[in-house]
Amino acid sequence: MSKFPYQIGILGDYGSHIDAVEATFIKRFDELGFSSANFRILRGKEVDGRQASSPFAAIFFGYDGAASVQHPELFSVIAESSVVLPIVDSLNSFSNKVPPELKHINGIERSSNDPNFEAAASVILENFRLLRRDRRLFISYKRSDSEAIALQLYESLDRHGFDVFLDTNGVPPGKDFQSVLWHRLADSDVVVLLDTPHFFDSRWTEEELARAIASNIQILHVLWPGQAPHARSALNHYFFLNNSDFESAARSRDMRLKDLVVEAVATEAESLRARAIAFRHRYLVDAFCDEARRCGLSVSVQPTRHIVFDGKNGKVVVVPMVGVPSALRLHDVDIELASSSKKSGSVWALYDDSGLLDDFLIHLDWLNSSLPLQSVKVLDVAARISRER
């Protein structure tokens, strides 16, 4: 029997949703660089045939009167403490729409703005550690044009589970404003850019766009009515606003978007998040593999997305790490890798240090002297590889 690194179960009353949710998982895995041989989707009773040695998580589509006896496959899933994400049409009636064994789990509510279940797919991929658990997003805007809308989006995205950076809320007193801004931009998955009439009047907003593009961060480009697409943003994902999307016809820093439009922007940000991580992960993998091969090393990229090569003291496992490699994330990597892999050689956490605060880089150097694995800047790969030859 072939082995699948990742398995997703679709349970409950999934009949009318199965095509959409399967298409979303196929798209997400494709964006992350996986082939169809690396994952499989199991419907209903097929879950009983899952491979015990491979990661598994499930979605349960709730319905009125859901009972355990109708879904016997749930018993073994719950017994092994696998993740089950309930989805219901209304959280107000949650307890009536899921079996008793799932009532203690935080579920999510179906939304007309998310017909393809992008949010649910993100939860499952995060549990597989294929997406960062830190859901970081950066709002780039011109205060004099769109301050109220920026705050409106901040509140909505925060409700959607994003850790949102907004300059008025995110820079502590006494800190260098621009340095903190660049550091947080480097650690974000998506930039929501509010392209208002005067957005590009500032060199700082122009530079935010340039840095985001250079770092392979996905940009949700919210374009105001009457604004033409920016010459340097051809690869951005555009969200075009119409005059009818605003609560009033007046144009000022106090204007607001209609609630449905704000929700639609949040949904678009969710759908871009996996693509952002996929692009940045691919950059790290390609940069490392290209340099290793130039140095005459044979490298392999594993189905789990780790890179492996033979160093002079044994096998080296390289873990590409999108964003800032905090101590908690390094700890996650240490737990994730099998002890046999670490004992036979070493583990490197590969990251891009562009835009990171000097104080944080000093902190990483200190961590390197204290942890069983090493964080390695992508620009230092050649030097590190030379020590393994």
| Residue 44, SS3 per DSSP | helix
Give the structural domain span for 69.
Answer: 6-127
Q: 300 with 250, same domain?
A: no
Residue 312: name the closest of 386, 238, 232 by CA: 386
Cα of 250 vs its chain's centroid, Å: 36
- The pLDDT assigned to 341 comes to 47
Residues of the chain with pLDDT under 50: 1, 170, 173-174, 339-343
44 in a domain, yes or no? yes
Q: 313 with 269, same domain?
A: no
Q: 147 with 261, same domain?
A: yes
Sign of the dihedral defined by the CA atoms of residues 282, 288, 294, 300, in that order: negative
283 in a domain, yes or no? no
- What is the Cα–Cα distance from 224 to 243, expressed in whole angstroms? 8
| Residue 52, SS3 per DSSP | coil
Q: 145 with 268, same domain?
A: yes
Last residue of a domain, one of 89, 106, 127: 127
1 in a domain, yes or no? no
- The pLDDT assigned to 1 comes to 38
37 in a domain, yes or no? yes
80 in a domain, yes or no? yes
Tokens representing residue 91 in the block: 């959280």
Residue 289: name the closest of 354, 368, 382 by CA: 382
Tokens representing residue 96 in the block: 């009536």
Q: 300 with 327, same domain?
A: yes
- What is the Cα–Cα distance from 288 to 285, expressed in whole angstroms? 5
Last residue of a domain, one of 97, 127, 157: 127
- What is the Cα–Cα distance from 276 to 109, expressed in whole angstroms? 25
The answer to whether the beta carbons of residues 118 and 108 sit under 8 Å apart is: no
Q: 152 with 106, same domain?
A: no
Cα of 287 vs its chain's centroid, Å: 21
Q: 248 with 309, same domain?
A: no
281 in a domain, yes or no? no
- What is the Cα–Cα distance from 292 to 257, expressed in whole angstroms? 50
287 in a domain, yes or no? no
The CA-to-CA distance between both ends of the chain, in Å, stands at 38
Instruction: Return the beta strands (E) in the chain as ranges.
Output: 6-12, 39-43, 56-61, 83-88, 108-109, 136-140, 163-165, 190-195, 218-223, 237-240, 299-301, 307-311, 314-320, 345-351, 374-377
Tally of CB atoms within 10 A around 128: 18
Task: Give the H or E element holding residue 283.
Answer: helix 259-294
| Structural domain count of the chain | 3
Q: 140 with 123, same domain?
A: no
Last residue of a domain, one of 276, 311, 334: 276
Q: 97 with 153, same domain?
A: no
The answer to whether the beta carbons of residues 23 and 56 sit under 8 Å apart is: no
- What is the Cα–Cα distance from 291 to 279, expressed in whole angstroms? 18
- What is the Cα–Cα distance from 360 to 353, expressed in whole angstroms? 10
- What is the Cα–Cα distance from 262 to 141, expressed in whole angstroms? 15
Could you read off the pLDDT of 321-330 as tens digits, one per residue? 888 787 777 7
Q: 64 with 14, same domain?
A: yes
Q: 162 with 270, same domain?
A: yes
- The pLDDT assigned to 339 comes to 46
Query: 84 phi and psi, to 5 degrees?
Result: -130, 125
Q: What is the signed CA dihedral for 253, 254, 260, 261, rounded to 10 degrees? A: -10
Residue 180: CATH number of its domain = 3.40.50.10140
For 254, what's the count of Cα atoms within 13 Å in the CB-facing half-sphere? 1
Q: 79 with 167, same domain?
A: no
- What is the Cα–Cα distance from 324 to 352, expressed in whole angstroms? 8
290 in a domain, yes or no? no
Across the beta sheet with 108-109, the strand order is 39-43, 6-12, 56-61, 83-88, 108-109
